[in-house]
């Protein structure tokens, strides 16, 4: 049995999308960041760091977006969320996800101009490719989308500033799993920090 603890709009949106992509049966447990539900004794017993996402796999906790996405891609290979062209392509996915987690995610906290610079690098790295790792949709695209989705309103990019990211965003918004996740999370309501 799989269960996802998530907070609408937060980084947990990425594994939520992936779960819809793979079509697996799962339980979803929404926790409120603003009500500090990740700080309760019950939640801290599941994840002592007090953060979402948490994926429970037969009662065992797996945390961190990249780890959860990698698990889902490997555990459900029929969803084809990892490249099949070998270890180097898989390493490119891991490289993207490391960059997303370590550089893109904290960029906004370092100021708007720094965030713009980081997104410009990501835009260049993406290039004219449909997906982060060439022509094949992967978990890296899900991870990249979630952060760009979250920060594009605060970045207020000028038209054409991030053309490759905007094209990627449009492709992602056309995916049924993305639309379904956004619909579910919107109904619950976003309580994200500024």
Mean pLDDT is lowest, of 80-84, 139-143, 174-178, for 80-84
Cα separation, 127 vs 145, whole angstroms: 15
Structure confidence at residue 191 (pLDDT): 65
Task: Take residue 96 and report the two structure tokens written for it.
Answer: 């993207």
User: H or E stretch including 107?
Assistant: helix 105-107
| Residue 194 scores a pLDDT above 70 | no
Domains observed in the chain: 2-78+177-188 (3.40.30.10), 82-175 (1.20.1050.10)
Structure confidence at residue 152 (pLDDT): 81
pTM over 0.85: yes
| 3-class secondary structure per residue, 1-69 | CEEEEECCCCCCHHHHHHHHHHCCCCEEEECCCCCCHHHCHHHHHHCCCCCCCEEEECCEEEECHHHHH
Cα separation, 6 vs 51, whole angstroms: 9
Residue 22 contacts residue 77 (beta carbons within 8 Å): no
Residues facing residue 131 across a β-bridge: 134
Q: Which whole-number Å values give the CA distances from 194 to 54, 136, 151, in the listed order? A: 22, 33, 10
For the chain, give the percent of residues with pLDDT over 90.
77
Structure confidence at residue 31 (pLDDT): 95
pLDDT in tens, 27-66: 999 999 989 999 999 999 999 999 999 999 999 999 999 9
Structure confidence at residue 192 (pLDDT): 56
Residue 81 contacts residue 22 (beta carbons within 8 Å): yes
Structure confidence at residue 136 (pLDDT): 87
pLDDT in tens, 92-133: 999 999 999 999 999 988 988 899 999 999 999 999 999 999
pLDDT in tens, 2-13: 999 999 989 999
**Residue 108 DSSP symbol:** G
How would residue 177 be classed by pLDDT, with cut points 50, 70 and 90?
very high
How would residue 156 be classed by pLDDT, with cut points 50, 70 and 90?
confident
Residue 163 contacts residue 157 (beta carbons within 8 Å): no
């Amino acid at each position: 049995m799989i269960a996802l603890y998530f907070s609408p709009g937060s980084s947990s949106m990425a594994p939520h999308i992936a779960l819809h992509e793979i079509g697996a049966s799962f339980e979803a447990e929404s926790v409120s960041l603003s009500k500090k539900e990740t700080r309760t004794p019950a939640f801290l017993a599941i994840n002592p760091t007090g953060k979402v996402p948490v994926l429970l796999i037969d009662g065992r906790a797996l945390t961190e977006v990249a780890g959860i996405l990698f698990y889902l891609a490997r555990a459900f290979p029929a969803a084809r969320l990892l490249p099949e062209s070998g270890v180097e392509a898989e390493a490119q996915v891991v490289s993207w996800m490391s960059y997303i987690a370590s550089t893109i995610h904290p960029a906004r906290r370092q100021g708007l101009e720094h965030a713009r610079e980081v997104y410009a690098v990501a835009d260049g790295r993406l290039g004219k490719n449909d997906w982060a790792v060439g022509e094949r949709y992967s978990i890296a695209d899900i991870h990249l989308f979630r952060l760009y989705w979250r920060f594009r309103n605060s970045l207020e990019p000028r038209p054409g500033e991030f053309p490759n990211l905007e094209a990627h965003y449009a492709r992602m918004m056309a995916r049924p799993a993305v639309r379904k996740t956004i619909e579910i999370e919107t109904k619950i309501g976003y309580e994200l920090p500024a």
